[in-house]
Chains A and B, each alone.
Chain A
Amino acid sequence: MKILSNIFNFYYDGFRSMTIGRTLWLIIGIKLFVIFAILRVFFFQPALHGSDEDKACQVRENLLKQ
């Protein structure tokens, strides 16, 4: 428990004492939001669906129809 508390305090103190890091964390936050909450959800859904066998069938069909 003491170890966990030390680890938490280490990160907590580190983040609190950041200067330029706050701007960077803001940029990281916005970037991750755009990438994961917008692009991933609305534009980058996996093209293959179902079980592994279903996916294999879809790829087989795609590769052999060309």
Chain B
Amino acid sequence: MNDILTAIDWSRAQFAMTAMYHWLFVPLTLGLGLVVAIMETIYARKKLNPSTPQSETEEWLDLTKFWMRLFGVNFAIGVATGIVLEFEFGTNWSNYSWFVGDIFGAPLAIEGIFAFFCESTFFAVMFFGWEKFSIRQHCAATWLTAFGASLSAWWILVANSWMQHPVGMDFDPAQMRNVMTSFVDVALSPTAVNKFFHVITSSWSLGACFVISVCGWYLLKGRHTQFAVKSIKVAGVVGLVGILGTMITGDSSAVQVTKDQPMKLAAMEGLYEGKQGADLVAFGILNPGKKWDNDQDAMLFEIKIPKGLSILGRHDPDAFIPGIKDIIEGRDMIDGQEINTVNYNERILRGRIAHKALRDYNQAREYKDSIGMDRATEKLARHYQFFGYGYLGKADEAIPPVAMTFYPFHIMVALGTWMLLFLIATVWIVFRRQEWTKYQIAGYPVYPWLAIITAPIAWVCSQCGWIVAELGRQPWAIQDIMPVQAAISSVGSGNVKLTFFIFLFLFTCLLLAEIGIMLKQIKNKK
């Protein structure tokens, strides 16, 4: 039993580690791809306009090629790091992989095929085709590379969103898997659409902050100043549009989470007791002794924004937001009317009824009793939405780790706010003043230093977003239907531990190689 628990924890740690490393590369590909495409478009317009001075056209070509090279480095190092996640699904999470069926497999297969064709054609044109294609064709290939990368992300996020909010499927007990009943419901679920735009726009802001950060270093060193200013102009606008898009989609995400995953929202805010006009914690320290069923205060210290959580979750300052205790006990309130949701003890009971129905189906199948099979299938379908609760011993096993959800959420919001302010300042400075050295502290120019630190801030912010999304839905591999302890394969913990450290070593080497090659490119720019 202990080995199973250890295997679960190590498998989770391994998946988290590989996904987080993978996510170091992906948002930069998405963000930098757009920046490069815009730069090349500017270059193409200048090139095709005979009145543009030759020197200006060449400046934009140099700009485009430099950032394209860094894009290529990141792409090359990051490519295939996501494949290992699919290995882990097949080996460590085989029950899950089978159980989700084509719903998960189809988007991943589309992504794989699409990525392969896009990357092997447009990517090659982008890097090898400067002399062989017209400027318009080359520019189109660059846009298609950026677009293709985003579309690849779409399919991955469709798969992830289905795990957060499963729709468009029926469970078939004969195949022991979920069968897709509506591709449109799966591919265009509001959760998937929202998640896609949230991820894409946040990646634009990350890619932009990376560009600005590198340029900050050039400004600090007094090298390539005009190059840096032009780059910052493009990146500043992309970053600002990106961070505003991230905030808008973050807001609609919060509404969706309140509706579909209220436990996640409660964990994000450390909210144990719901209230009307709930406050948003701007800064807080959780009380480690707080449990959902004791009377201790949830916070040791907090600074609140009055009614902020009600506005965030339900777009109504007086709306009720249920806390962890309310959700477990089945209480909510809509439009001032108290309503009963299904409490967690009942969910566990109904989950066990669903399990029993599956056993009955199995037995009827062995005896070729079609009436018994139909009866069991009908009963299973009636309680299937709570199937996962049948694996839980008691209600508090359905509470996600509150501290590991609360702190990353608040770090994400704080760093996102920093990025917003920094990008507003950047656009203002670059388009209005261009006095980089005016603002100084102890003789050092402030802006370039702020620019340099903003790139790592953007990465931490992006990683925190995923930590909130994934830890906040624990214990579920598939929301309400399959907890992680049911999703795991019968694997020994030793093997998972060993591969954890192999991945850690491999990915750390890749990251160091990327940083080393990029720094060399940046330092040696002519």
A47 touches B490 (CB 8 A): yes
Chain A residue nearest to B391 (CB atoms) is A66
- Report chain A residues within 8 Å CB of B510: 27, 31
Instruction: Judge whether A37 is part of the interface by a CB distance below 8 angstroms.
Output: no
Q: Which of B273-329 contact A (CB under 8 A)?
A: none
Using Cβ atoms and an 8 Å threshold, which residues of chain B touch A59? 94-95, 98-99, 176-177
Contact of B362 with A by CB under 8 A:
yes
- Smallest CB gap from B513: residue in A: A27
Chain B interface, DSSP helix/strand/loop, else mixed: helix
Contact status A10-B124, CB under 8 Å: yes
B241 within 8 A of A: no
Q: Kindly specify which of B85-93, B138-146, B330-338 makes contact with the partner chain.
A: B85-93
Q: Does A5 lie at the interface of the complex (its beta carbon under 8 Å from any beta carbon of B)? A: no
Given A24-B517, A56-B174: A47 and B91 interface contact (C-beta under 8 Å)? yes
Contacting residue for A14 out of B128, B485, B491, CB 8 A: B128
Task: Please judge, given known A-B contacts A11-B128, A34-B506, A56-B177, whether A46 and B91 are in contact too, CB under 8 Å.
Answer: yes
Task: From known contacts A11-B128, A24-B76, A27-B510, infer whether A52 and B517 are also in contact, taking CB-CB under 8 Å.
Answer: no
- State A15–B485 Cα separation when bound (angstroms): 47
B77-119: CB near A (< 8 Å → 1, else 0) gives 1011101100110111011011100000000000000000000
| Closest chain A residue, CB of each to CB of B84 | A35
Measured between C-beta atoms, what is the minimum distance from B161 to chain A in Å?
A: 23
Residue B498 CB within 8 A of the other chain:
yes
Contact B76 A13 (CB under 8 A): no
Residue B412 at the chain A interface, CB threshold 8 Å: no
| Contact digits for B481-513, partner A, Cβ 8 Å, 1 yes 0 no | 000011001110001001100100010001001
Given contacts A20-B69, A27-B513, A32-B80, 13 further A-B contacts (CB under 8 A): A20-B72, A20-B517, A27-B77, A35-B87, A43-B91, A43-B495, A44-B90, A47-B91, A47-B94, A56-B175, A63-B95, A63-B486, A64-B359
Name A's interface SS: helix
Task: Report B3 CB to chain A, min CB distance, Å.
Answer: 15
Most chain B beta carbons < 10 A, residue from A13, A39, A52: A39
Give Cα distance in the complex from A11 to B426, angstroms.
40
Count residues of chain B with CB under 8 A from any CB of chain A: 48
Q: Is the CB of A11 within 8 A of B124?
A: yes
- Is residue A60 contacting chain B, with contact meaning CB distance below 8 A? yes
Kindly provide the distance from the CB of A17 to the nearest chain B CB, expressed in whole angstroms: 8
Q: How far is the CA of A20 from the CA of B502 in the complex (A)?
A: 27
Q: Decide yes or no whether B355 CB sits under 8 A from chain A.
A: yes
When the two chains form the complex, which single residue of A24, A27, A31, A44 contacts B88, counting CB atoms closer than 8 Å? Answer: A44
| Interface presence of B190 (CB below 8 A) | no
Are B128 and A35 interface neighbours, CB within 8 A?
Answer: no
Chain B residues contacting A31 (CB-CB under 8 Å) are: 80-81, 506, 510
Select the residue from A10, A13, A24 with max chain B CB neighbours within 10 A: A24
Q: Is there a chain A Cβ closer than 8 Å to B521's Cβ? A: yes
Shortest CB-to-CB span from A14 to chain B, Å, is: 3
Determine the residue in chain B with the shortest Cβ distance to A27: B513
Give, as a whole number of angstroms, the nearest-CB distance from A41 to chain B: 11
**A24/B175 in contact, CB under 8 A:** no
Q: Smallest distance from the beta carbon of A61 to chain B beta carbons, Å? A: 9
Complex: A5 Cα to B344 Cα, angstroms: 65
CA distance A14 to B83 in the complex (A): 26
| A28 and B83 alpha carbons, distance in the complex (Å) | 13
Question: Would A10 and B73 count as touching, CB distance under 8 A?
Answer: no
A10 to chain B, nearest CB (A): 6
Write out the residue numbers on chain A whose beta carbons fall within 8 Å of the beta carbon of B431.
none
- On chain A, the residues within 8 Å of B362 by CB distance are 60, 64
Are B502 and A66 closer than 8 Å at their CB atoms?
no
Contact A48 B98 (CB under 8 A): yes
Chain A residue with Cβ nearest B132: A10
A10 to B175 CA separation, bound complex (whole angstroms): 47
Complex Cα distance, B77 from A31, in Å, reads 9
Residue of B nearest to A25 (CB): B76
The complex places the Cα of A21 from the Cα of B355 at a distance, in Å, of 55
A6 closest partner in B (C-beta): B132
What is the CA–CA distance of A11 and B72 in the complex, to the nearest angstrom?
A: 16
B 357-371 to A, binary, CB cutoff 8 A, 1 in contact else 0: 011001000000000
Q: Is the CB of B176 within 8 A of A66?
A: no
> What residue in chain A is nearest B489 (Cβ atoms)?
A47
Shortest CB distance A40–B (Å): 6
Q: Mark B121-140, 1 if CB is under 8 A from A, else 0.
A: 00010011100100000000
